[in-house]
Amino acid sequence: MSKKELTSSSIVVILLFNLLIIGKAEIYIVTVEGEPVISYKGGVNGFEATAVESDSDEKIDVTSELVTSYSRHLEKKHDMLLGMLFDQGTYKKLYSYRHLINGFAVHISPEQAETLRGAPGVKSVERDWKVRRLTTHTPQFLGLPTGVWPTGGGFDRAGEDIVIAFVDSGIYPHHPSFSTHNTEPYGPVLKYRGKCEVDPDTKRDFCNGKIVGAQHFAKAAKMAGAFNPGIDFDSPLDGDGHGSHTAAIAAGNNGIPVRMHGFEYGRASGMAPRARIAVYKALYRIFGGFVADVVAAIDQAVQDGVDILNLSVGPNSPPSAAKTTFLNPFDTALLSAVRAGVFVAQAAGNGGPFPKTLLSYSPWIASVAAAVDDRRYKNHFTLGNGKILAGIGLSPATHANRTFTLVAANDVLLDSSVAKYSPCDCQRPEVLNKNLVEGNILLCGYSFNFVAGTASIKRVSETAKILGAIGFVLAVENASPGTKFDPVPVGIPGILITDISMSMELIDYYNVSTPRDWTGRVRNFKAVGSIGESLKPILHKSAPQVALFSARGPNIKDYSFQDADLLKPDILAPGSLIWSAWAPNGTDEADYVGEGFAMISGTSMAAPHIAGIAALVKQKHPHWSPAAIKSALMTTSTTLDRAESPLQAQQYSESGTMSLVRATPFDFGSGHVNPRAALDPGLIFDAGYEDYLGFLCTTPGIDAHEIKNYTNSPCNYTLGHPWNLNIPSITISHLVGTQIVTRTVTNVAKEETYVITAQMAPAIAIDTNPPAMTLRPGASGKFSVTLTVRSVMGTYSFGEVLLKGSRGHKVRIPVVAMGYDR
């Protein structure tokens, strides 16, 4: 039958069949043969090379006819492949990836995916998978105003003309952290070629000189049926809060007053206040995001000419088809980004304190763990019997030298029928009796609803205020071991009692002091108390500490959880209770809905600290590679806290309560970032695309064919062992007998002589050679580290190599190994 002879009934049948196919379709990311723009060195008739030499500072001119014509050629090939294999209407191509990887995202059925897998020229077909968010004081804590900003010309020049890309939930462009009203005018950034989308409601674009680019990527989210334009915003506008928060941590304006409820909690500043912000929205309120959208955002960011890429996101689960953690469309796109000269900071993950919970694996990425800094928002509640109960919160005190009557929410219900609303958690003022609450302290219970996110401390405060209470106490009567409690700023006196034994003391005192009739109804309220003030933090010398939630190593090389010969995380940065900008319509944190600032925690907050500090290093050393910047950050980091004691990590004790243990490189990588030292590291460990390829090619269990599929590169280069990758850490997960590891350092300072020493836990012997080396400016030198098994312990041993310079530089790299007898 010809197409002209189709009857109406047969058309209906075909349409129904197509609908069935589309109905069970999913999104797939497909890579195909042929080099992407970044690595194309010629060879296709009619198209000249677009790649630049890897050791060159030159960037690809994406606006050139060479690049645009080759880019169109790749997209045409994607369309031709799909058109040859499938009937029109049975598939929908979402993106063509042409810059970092050669491939596309397409919405097809599993059967069509199988057809694609068998098609000539197709290298990989992977079902899309989801990613999630890995959710003012820190500039001072890190020593930026006195130690770093002056060397770059002060805060008003810190990060000048460095463009940081944020693949996140968008931005709220009207926030004072991104305003240009009180700053010196921003000139154009000629190297950046990104565009600014227009807000569909206001018809204004999102850029202002500080924000230089704003785009959003949601084709996969829409095709998957997850996108809701009413709350997700079909524009770069932040409907969540997370994106504005991370952007302001890295590059927010300096000295922005953090005001809430009439109080000023300090002044917020980004790490690099003068850096430019480029927004690539690919995360959304409820569902997070899809890798197809994230890869499209990364591809566009690098094409646009950004310097730094911040990723406060991680996968929900392993990719369906990938065998190794280092090879998938996401990590491969990041490898190409680094090849293009872009430094990548990624949140390590929030699965701590348990081992092997990292979500950032690859050596070309800076994987960032989260630290608790030196602020603690502690408060106290004084009972009428004189006992003082410790708690947390950010609130004013009740009136000095006065006590106030305590009334429990369960004792002031309007009638018994409202018990179904869990009234004790004080979320509904309409079910409580205002006459009994007014002028008193409202006692509420911390229920599971707070953990689930359906109740919030902000709402307790609002309930108390509506009812005329003088303040509130929220008592935790039971909690899962290790439940994390964060202080929340409120406008009236309020405290959260997190210690269950202290909550029981409070409840016992209340019950003893509150006479009741035979039915249990309160005769009169006689329990009294007062709430202390906690508007200012208490500063602790035991900071920094590794945060409880921060993901831990060892790193894994595959999804069978086999240990990798590569240390992760790389570095530690502040990530707990971080004040930063917030989107007023953001819903990511119930306690900050409608606010302009939020104080939240996560490795999501740690990564932009490193992105911003990397911008300062890039500003001072514009020709350094991403590996050189990462090396400077790592080798100058510290493993001591402010009291000069070894770093500690928050951990669960056997009873399930939180305790502190001595931290290891699996907790903090090389150590806690030290921005001042990173600007002048003395030596760097450099590495490039060929080195990363050599790492992949020498990692046991990775198939060379798989490497070629993802990188378009054959395994012509070997390191001998993966631990010979020239990075500022050494990890051997299976050490038998003796191994010699080599490293090359390059002097980026004046001529200096370095003495090389090493120390290691007793189970492994360590030695270095030569004992010293003198390097002229720009010169490189090699040294070797010999590791020998002394005794098989069944656990990892930790140590370090120290290169101590005659001019004061100290370069330290962690060493991690587990000994085996065979």
Phi, psi of 605 (to 5 degrees): -85, -25
Q: How far apart are the C-alpha atoms of 288 and 311, rounded to whole Å?
A: 13
List 269, 513, 604, 631, catalytic entry: 604
* CA distance linking residue 56 with residue 278, whole number of Å: 24
- Considering only CA atoms, which of 291, 218, 224, 214 is closest in space to residue 247? 214
CB 636 within 8 A of CB 621: no
- Are the C-beta atoms of residues 433 and 414 closer than 8 Å to each other? yes
Angle, CA 306 vertex, CA 210 and CA 362 arms, to 5°: 130
Q: How far apart are CA 807 and CA 803, in angstroms?
A: 12
Pick the closest to residue 207 from 222, 221, 191, 195 (CA basis).
195
Comparing C-alpha atoms, which of 814, 774, 550, 802 is closest to residue 669?
814
Alpha helices (runs of H) in 500-553, residue ranges in sequence order? 500-512
Smallest CA-to-CA distance from 677 within 163, 151, 121 is with: 151
CA angle 219, 221, 222 (to 5 degrees): 65
Residues 397 and 375: their CA atoms lie apart, in Å, by 19
Q: Which residues have a Cβ under 8 Å from the Cβ of 390 and sit 6 or more positions away?
A: 378, 379, 380, 497, 499, 502
Give the count of beta carbons closer than 10 Å to the beta carbon of residue 47: 16
Is 168 part of the annotated catalytic residue set? Answer: yes
Q: Are 276 and 210 in contact (CB under 8 A)?
A: yes
* Residue 242 bears catalytic tag: yes
Query: Tokens standing for 541?
Result: 């010398």
Alpha-carbon distance of 100 to 341, in angstroms, equals 12
Largest separation between any pair of C-alpha atoms in the chain: 95
Residue of 128, 161, 168, 686 marked catalytic: 168
604 is a catalytic site residue: yes
Return the residue matching tokens 């941590």. Answer: 249
Burial class (CB in 10 A: 0-12, 13-18, 19+), 185: exposed
CB 322 within 8 A of CB 126: yes
CA atoms within a 13 Å half-sphere pointing along the CA-CB vector of 568? 33
User: Do the Cβ atoms of 637 and 647 come closer than 8 Å?
Assistant: no
Q: Any alpha helices (H) in 601-703, and if so which ranges?
A: 603-620, 626-635, 665-668, 675-678, 689-698
Active-site position among 78, 175, 242, 245? 242
Q: How far, in Å, CA of 568 to CA of 556, rounded?
A: 9
8 Å CB contact between 657 and 501: no
CB-count burial class (<10 Å; 0-12, 13-18, 19+) for 187: exposed
Active site amino acids: 168, 242, 604
